[in-house]
Chain A
Amino acid sequence: MTVTLADGMLDLAMPMHLRLDAGGRIVGAGPAMRKTAHTRALVGQVLLDVFAVHRPAGLRTFAQMSARPGRRLVLGFREGRNVEFRGHILDAAGDGAFVLNLTFGLADLPDLGGAGLTAADFAPTDPTVDTLYLLEAKQMAFSEMRRLVERLRGAKSVAEEQAFTDTLTGLRNRRALDQVMAQSRERAEPFALCQVDLDHFKQVNDTHGHAAGDAVLRAVAARLSHSVRAADTVARVGGDEFILILPGMTDEATLARIARRIVTDIEGPVRFEGRDHRVSASIGITVSTDYDDPDPVRMFADADAALYRSKSAGRATHCFHGQPA
């Protein structure tokens, strides 16, 4: 028994089909195809005058097309917007008529070829409408995720900006130091500022690599932290530059003792990957009581100048601001 589909049934089953005669002339079109064609003429036209074959390459004539029913075809409108379709040609019961069943290509799927189709234009078995639903829902989920990522990225950079810690050593960083200095000045608390600069650090870094250099910096940080009281601030402010703020500590003899202990501590070897690395330190010290108003910028500059005198004096030593080495 053969089932014959009346045109009306074809329209319902495959609303985007074209009915063709043996010569490739369009004799009928499904309702969704007529809607999509809009002002382009369909019925009475030669198929390949209305549509260009995009794939398979080399397919030029209707005879080639109709000779292989079922083969996947990609076609596009020649006129107006080049809406692309994919589909296959079916031999309609061998009486010389063909049915070309089409659907939208992926590029034209999101807006359905701009034709203003509705759910009623698609067969209930056709997942096109569900695909559109998914596209929109996916877009919503994706935008929400992108907003989340943006917000997290913003939060991360704020957190980084507000951080008070040097990530390599765990010491305070420049921002934290500035805050401590400002507080001490505000409260008019006397304090000492020690600038500690490593000697021979560059050689370690250059000769044994950054990993060795980082190990030395971490070891120095630990030793500095042990050399001072809990209320003191130890910050790393540059590659191998450290600054100590020692509140209430203005006695030069005590400061000199602390400075000597720091140099000795830092000179102890740092074991890294089976090798001992050695650095030393030069220190410049200034105390807030030397100033009418302990301006941080001036104090840093003075500590720096004292440090350079230590360096000039042969390193591994300390100098006070306003005193000979």
Chain B
Amino acid sequence: MSANLARAMESFVTDTYGRTVWQDMVRAARLDFDSFELLFEYPHTVTEPVLDAAADRLQRTRADLMEDLGTYLVSHPRMVGIRRLLRFGGDDFETFLDSLRELPDRARLVLPDLQLPSLRLKDEGNGAYALDCSKASADLCGVLVGGIRAMADDYGALVTTELKTGPGNACRIEIVVLSSRFTPGRAFELAERST
């Protein structure tokens, strides 16, 4: 999973700040290569320094940086594929939230090796939800928060989110949906129409 994070960070930094900024980070992390492969495994000793270097270079806390990464992954035009896959989750934001529980199973249909943390959504009534993530690093929880916020924008929902880290590799994301149709959101069609 940390390898995927490093690869995602590379795309995020390259698309947002430019390749030279990414290369600064690679140098700071003393890597002997400058590009991560999504389908390869990398040890923590490689991924950790580059994620630290990224936060350092951009002068963000690691947690803030991870949220930005999550937002990038679902809202950047180059990542439109991920946004589309998430929009398959449902016609409105709350259905989408509920669909997150099947996300690991869906991902495994395509990439059987992919280990996503398990996600459990608790409906606490009045538009309040708690998303429990087990076996998720603090980084991944941050990415999730950024991604969920961006998906709320995509659906046109007005929400607040709060990240609470639990003991070990667990976190809880508290989400309050203030309005599920605050803006029209972005259009989504199941099939990209042929011309």
Contact = CB atoms under 8 A, between A and B. Distances in A.
A and B assemble together: yes
Interface residues of B, number: 22
A230 interface: no
B90 A116 contact: no
B37 interface: yes
Contacts of B91: 118-120
Interface stretch (B14-22, B57-65, B81-89, B173-181): B81-89
Interface in A242-287: none
Contacts of B90: 119
Contact of A132 (B35, B37, B39, B88): B88
B192 interface: yes
Q: Is the interface of B mostly helix, strand, loop or mixed?
A: loop
B38 A116 contact: no
Number of chain A interface residues as a range: 20 to 34
Contact of A137 (B35, B109, B192, B193): B109
Given A144-B39, A148-B37, A148-B39, A137 B110 contact: yes
A111 B194 contact: yes
Contact of B190 (A117, A139, A145): A117
B192 A140 contact: no
Given A137-B110, A140-B81, A141-B111, A118 B194 contact: no
A198 interface: no
A141 B113 CA distance: 12
A114 B189 CA distance: 11
B167 to A, nearest CB: 33
Nearest to B188: A118
Interface in B100-123: 106-107, 109-111
B193 A116 contact: yes
B84 A136 contact: yes
A134 B38 contact: no
Contact of B191 (A117, A130, A141): A117
A133 B88 contact: yes
B160 to A, nearest CB: 27
A93 B61 CA distance: 68
6 contacts: A111-B191, A116-B189, A118-B91, A120-B91, A136-B81, A151-B37
Interface of B: 35, 37-39, 81-82, 84-85, 88, 90-91, 106-107, 109-111, 189-194
Which 6 A-B residue pairings sit nearest by Cβ, starting from the closest? A137-B110, A111-B191, A112-B191, A133-B88, A111-B194, A140-B81
